[in-house]
Structure 1
Amino acid sequence: MRVEGITWHALTLDDTQFAAMKKLAAETLGLAPMMELPGVSVFSMPNGTILELYLPQALPPFGYNEGGVAFGFRVDDIEAASRAVEAAGAELLGDINRFEEMGYAYRHFRGPDGRVYGLNEQKAPPA
């Protein structure tokens, strides 16, 4: 496994903060949402970095950390990374989720510090 960087960031915000950050991302930073669900906006940047904005009621079942910030490590092999963090004592949270059309996969884990982190893998999408 090779870590390529920290490329996924998630923020949990109240209604006013959520609307303001979504507007800033779209109108000021020029980011187009790649996915929107009730209470969730996901923005992808040209270098593969992802920013997710959440309302508290839209969080995954395991939630995110105190302070509402989580981030993920980009890895070259998500299966190997999952085995490695589990062997190191981390708790895997759910399965690996794949979006083949985007060449993207992710999985969350709870680190030894009790915080939630992510693993994500980006491959070239199928032609």
Structure 2
Amino acid sequence: MDNVGIVVEDLDAAVAFFTELGMELEGRMPIEGPWAEKCVGIEGMRSEIAMMRIPDAPGRLELAMYHAPKAIVPEPAVYPPNTVGLHRVMFAVDDLQGTLERLRPHGAELVGEVTRFEDSYLLCYLRGPSGIIVALAEQLS
């Protein structure tokens, strides 16, 4: 897998959120023109992407903000975790509580609670920018 793409309403906020989570901005650029329109199937599209990477590991997130046409925000704007489609992105963290505290100023809100899975993990779901569900897992043993 090369990357997972996520459409966001505020690219700066999403980059700040995922940077605080420990990802690095690999690059940022506008995407537009006939080749892009043909690829995504949207005539007249203009967007900007930010490619985020995990340091010293494979896997990237492509964050995209559409300038034209504007992104469609479905109703309801925030779906529950059991909605069909991309479910969530999970990150392994060393300190779940500390990570939550760092992400809260960036708009992170718990979906449920921090829970313990046996003696193996602390787990939680949280909402980030544009309602994205992010899961955190801290390995205990």
TM-score (norm 1): 0.44
Larger of the two Rg values belongs to structure: 2
Q: TM-score, normalised by structure 2?
A: 0.40
Whichever structure has more strand as a proportion of its residues is 1
